[in-house]
């Protein structure tokens, strides 16, 4: 598919058919995610494709538990917000596949030359590790469209990051960054409207 069309067609898909995704397609999605730019070409990522229903359900339970335990005020509106967030953080359990992205910390060259901690340097550089992760996830989302799938990027489940890392048996130095739910869209969705170009563009000539 033409890149422009994939960019224009992409929209977050949260409802999927039961159709399984062949492992070759999951690998191809991850291969393309791995072609993204990363700070110093560090390629700090690893991806697990999870298709096991029990594992997905265990993960969703941990996320829902975590959200239920978040301190909230007692208003009905607040309770509604929580249940809404819970759905947006757990719908991944019904996806044919979830691609979990992990990253190891980026060790900047600066760390050898200045007396600043890893976290301080990362903050000074505007989080190049997370910027790299974003580039890679966008490759994955666009590739999903290109290959006839729909996908949704999820950060909300990261609220239960520690429990999820245990379920997935992830070990140091890797830590969980995000999920991408993937599958055949249950129905065709129109992309959401976005800000007009003149609102987001400024030329400094």
Ligand X SMILES: Cc1cc2nc3c(=O)[nH]c(=O)nc-3n(C[C@H](O)[C@H](O)[C@H](O)COP(=O)(O)O)c2cc1C
Q: Which residues bind ligand X (CB under 6 A)?
A: 11-12, 14, 88-89, 152-156, 192
When CB distances to ligand X are compared, the closest residue is: 156
Give me the phi and psi of 178, to 5 degrees please: -165, 165
Nearest distance, CB of residue 114 and ligand X, angstroms: 30
Pairing label, strands 45-50, 175-183: unpaired
Q: Which is nearer to ligand X, 21 or 98 (CB)?
A: 98
Nearest distance, CB of residue 95 and ligand X, angstroms: 11
Q: Which is nearer to ligand X, 15 or 110 (CB)?
A: 15
Q: Which is nearer to ligand X, 42 or 88 (CB)?
A: 88
Q: Which is nearer to ligand X, 110 or 189 (CB)?
A: 189
Element (H, E) at 177: strand 175-183
User: Residue 54 and residue 67: Cα distance in Å, rounded?
Assistant: 20
Torsion of CA 30, 49, 91, 60, to 10 degrees: -140
- Locus of tokens 């990261």: 158
Nearest distance, CB of residue 56 and ligand X, angstroms: 15
Do 114 and 125 touch, CB atoms closer than 8 A?
no
Nearest distance, CB of residue 25 and ligand X, angstroms: 21
Do 179 and 98 touch, CB atoms closer than 8 A?
yes
Nearest distance, CB of residue 52 and ligand X, angstroms: 21
The strand pairing partners of 102, in sequence order, are 46, 176
Q: Which is nearer to ligand X, 48 or 92 (CB)?
A: 92
Encoding tokens for residue 120?
Answer: 């301080």
């Amino acid at each position: 598919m033409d890149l422009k069309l994939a960019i224009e067609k992409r929209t977050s898909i949260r409802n999927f058919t039961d159709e399984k995704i062949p492992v070759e397609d999951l690998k191809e999605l991850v291969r393309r995610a791995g072609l993204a730019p990363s700070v110093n070409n560090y390629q700090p990522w690893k991806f697990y494709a999870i298709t096991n229903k029990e594992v997905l359900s265990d993960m969703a339970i941990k996320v829902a538990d975590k959200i239920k335990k978040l301190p909230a005020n007692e208003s009905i509106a607040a309770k509604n917000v929580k249940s809404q967030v819970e759905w947006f953080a757990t719908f991944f359990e019904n996806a044919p596949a979830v691609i979990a992205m992990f990253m190891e910390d980026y060790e900047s060259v600066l760390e050898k030359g200045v007396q600043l901690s890893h976290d301080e340097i990362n903050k000074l550089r505007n989080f190049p590790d997370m910027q790299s992760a974003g580039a890679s996830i966008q490759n994955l989302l666009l590739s999903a469209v290109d290959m006839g799938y729909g996908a949704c990027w999820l950060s909300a489940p990261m609220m239960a990051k520690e429990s999820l890392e245990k379920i997935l048996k992830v070990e140091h130095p890797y830590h969980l960054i995000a999920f991408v739910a993937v599958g055949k869209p249950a129905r065709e969705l129109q992309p959401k409207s976005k800000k007009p170009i003149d609102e987001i563009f400024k030329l400094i000539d």
